[in-house]
Structure 1
């Protein structure tokens, strides 16, 4: 594009009105617009970088298909270094393809971004991007200062972390003194809460998972853990903990009451009961079996769970099911892909468990075929007939009676 003249009558493009310039700009692709017109002059910058036009950044590379790779790289480098620093706080949506993604994402923080569109990705490439592990820790967090005026802190992790000592506790202002036992009230106070003298309310749910293959250790009991919080003035606390290691593993969960979180994760067979009316997602995981009595307690204590996941490969010891059916009235998403066949029987047989809202089921095909006896077993037919989304990760050939058994698919 020649920026000096508009046509043969020597009309200078800089003499055009804002309205006409904006009309012309709308005919250009985002990449052409940003690469060619930013930093031309202040007027062009004001028009091109107006938040009305830059809230959605489309960086798909249709205009670049005739350029060589070095030229494409040069274009994206210019956008990355000269444009993004000026608009990143205004962006609400970004559209990228495989080429632009590598150049644009990960280079700057988009504080207002709420939509990311990925275009023209191969499924394998897209899967790599969406499932890659985050390995770099934050480098710009000052985790060395006291926080005397802090009155509210929220710290949530949806899965176990192996970096409690290296990453999380430095952020909480100290270092764990004893990493071979459960986190208790004394440790939290001495290493963390003591630095927040104005903190007047502490709502928490803390899991400790110990893997110890080397030395014998004495684990604190549930009462020991509760007393450590009571001694520090925290009266409404509940806990359940393994007092002995099983397969060199030990687990403890301690949380404040009433329970304020939507998720209750890593429930083990040591669960002691309680009231959890706010919980909508329940994750159960253990290396010891979940017995029928535990599910009866859960059905009573968790009245509104919508999602349930069971990870337990160990068979139940007591296979005599309760005389009355257990009901999960609101459960619509159930993951049994990593569950022993006993739990599939427990929940899919309607005489054992009533699941009136269940629509989404994740399960292994071999287990499903066995439990349903090749999709002929009436005991599981009622529950399976309501499933609208069945997730089976391994490939399989649908038998003749499969579709009639899962009639809502």
Structure 2
């Protein structure tokens, strides 16, 4: 039966204000304003409420992290709407191409927060160094600033991030919260020159920043932000330096500190611990580190002696630390049971540990972390993986000198239900691989599903693992997975693209061709049955 739109609209308008508010809260604020403002006086009163007008995101954000401006008709309508609700607006999230038009559309007397996204280098210079036309208007009232994705085109422009940060400190006189996502990189000397001690912020309380070197963190904490209470630092790498940096003065106001670095470091004792010892009043600490150790793993005793004993107010320690010890000769290293025993006094936290020895590569590692696990990635998972549920993890890598069997991949699928990117590094053939007499002989195995998987890297995997993921009675791949694997492995596993058991999964994937012959020889021709297997091939 066709719907009577007019009657339906009357029913909606006849609902009490409380019910309308509940319904409209399920929609985005931008959609509510765009659709209903100006319809009638009653709806105007409802949608102009601070519930829908205090925080506005005037851009389009997609699941693949791509950001676009609003469509022109929608943006044009909002340029008319903003003057009507300007006194209610407290926070705006904007992208670079439309931000100036929006910020100059009206005055914003109560605006205290700005999120600026997809900023290119020219826009950053215009905004923060050349003082864009709206900066003088808002510089004294903005207390929270989020800046994302300042991209540079060449090495000469790397220092621009330091200059931008310097001008932010100078320009926004009441800034209390700063999230500066672009990676600050350059040379140590340029950092000192462009951000001298005279450039400081006496109001900044919270700083989220991504930097290239550990030295830059020390420079920032060398008297420039003495009032800082919260500091989140993501660092590219941590290494020793010839430059003299103050790493002794106490940071008495700091209460929350996060330090994450995905590259290994050999200066845990020399640089990281001295910085932590400057924070005696810390209440919460979050560490993600990969540490090259000499003779002993970082365990519960190390954390107790080097961290807890120096921070009497610390009530929450979240950590993910991987210790690595290289050894040429046989060493008496602790077992996983020994490591767990060192955490016997950590009664308020569930601590997971995993110790692995790799005799072929002549190193050992110990992975300790607090659970539940909150990171989006989990690297170098081995056969000793203890299991558990990791609902925040989207990216993992698997590595071992022992083979991965089918049951191991079952555990991985169960532990990482939202897995999007998977890398397998293992050169050992599977021990429990069954002799294949027919194409259906593996149907008694449980079929593994990775419903969210979009990237699969098998370049450094034995052919058995290529087969593990391509045989449809072992794994059911979702559509459009980008598959990275050696061409020769595909030839072998698919019987030169004629095997029925691998046909279904191969038809689903987007094969990222890396065959050297194809890249260097324009006369190269794929085999006859290749296109029957791979309906989607990327030859770039």
TM-score of the superposed pair, with normalisation by structure 2: 0.51
Q: How far apart, CA to CA, are the structure 2 residues paired with 1:361 and 1:181?
A: 39
Structure 1 residue 105 and structure 2 residue 209: aligned? no
Structure 1 residue 152 and structure 2 residue 267: aligned? no
CA drift of 1:103 comes to: 3.6
Contact 1:186 1:232 in 2 (8 A): no
Structure 1 residue 309 and structure 2 residue 423: aligned? yes
Question: 1:125-183 CA deviation, whole Å, 9 max, x = no partner?
Answer: xxxxxxxxx78853625533455654433222334345545544444349x99731211
Q: How far apart, CA to CA, are the structure 1 residues paired with 2:318 and 2:304?
A: 14
Q: How far apart, CA to CA, are the structure 1 residues paired with 2:377 and 2:335?
A: 25
Structure 1 segment 230-269 matched on structure 2, within 5 A: 230-242=344-356, 247-269=361-383
Question: 1:291-344 CA deviation, whole Å, 9 max, x = no partner?
Answer: 222111112222221111111122222223662212222212111111111111
Aligned to 2:247: 143
Structure 1 segment 328-367 matched on structure 2, within 5 A: 328-367=450-489
Aligned to 1:387: 509
CA drift of 1:403 comes to: 2.3
CA drift of 1:398 comes to: 4.4
Structure 1 residue 180 and structure 2 residue 295: aligned? yes
Aligned to 1:327: 449
Question: 1:22-41 CA deviation, whole Å, 9 max, x = no partner?
Answer: xxxxxxxxxxxxxxxxxxxx
Q: How far apart, CA to CA, are the structure 2 residues paired with 1:197 and 1:282?
A: 36
- Decide which moves more: 340-349 or 248-257: 248-257
Question: 1:229-269 CA deviation, whole Å, 9 max, x = no partner?
Answer: 22243541111113685642212211111122221111112
CA drift of 1:203 comes to: 1.7
Q: How far apart, CA to CA, are the structure 2 residues paired with 1:233 and 1:151?
A: 22
Q: How far apart, CA to CA, are the structure 2 residues paired with 1:238 and 1:269?
A: 15
CA 1:159–1:402 in 2, change beyond 3 Å: closer, same or farther?
farther
Bigger RCO (CA 8 Å, 6+ sep): 1
User: Secondary structure, in 3 states, of the residue corresponding to 2:505?
Assistant: helix
Q: Structure 1: give runs of 5+ residues left out of the alignment.
A: 1-54, 60-78, 117-133
TM-score of the superposed pair, with normalisation by structure 1: 0.65
Return the match for 2:339 from 194, 209, 225.
225
CA RMSD of aligned residues (A): 3.7
CA 1:162–1:349 in 2, change beyond 3 Å: closer, same or farther?
farther
Show structure 1 runs of 4+ deviating over 6 A: 83-86, 88-96, 112-116
User: Secondary structure, in 3 states, of the residue corresponding to 1:160?
Assistant: strand
Structure 1 residue 287 and structure 2 residue 340: aligned? no
Q: How far apart, CA to CA, are the structure 1 residues paired with 2:159 and 2:405?
A: 46
Aligned to 2:321: 206
CA 1:370–1:245 in 2, change beyond 3 Å: closer, same or farther?
closer
The structure in which a higher percent of residues are strand is 2
- Decide which moves more: 144-153 or 299-308: 144-153
Contact 2:266 2:293 in 1 (8 A): no
- Decide which moves more: 142-151 or 361-370: 142-151
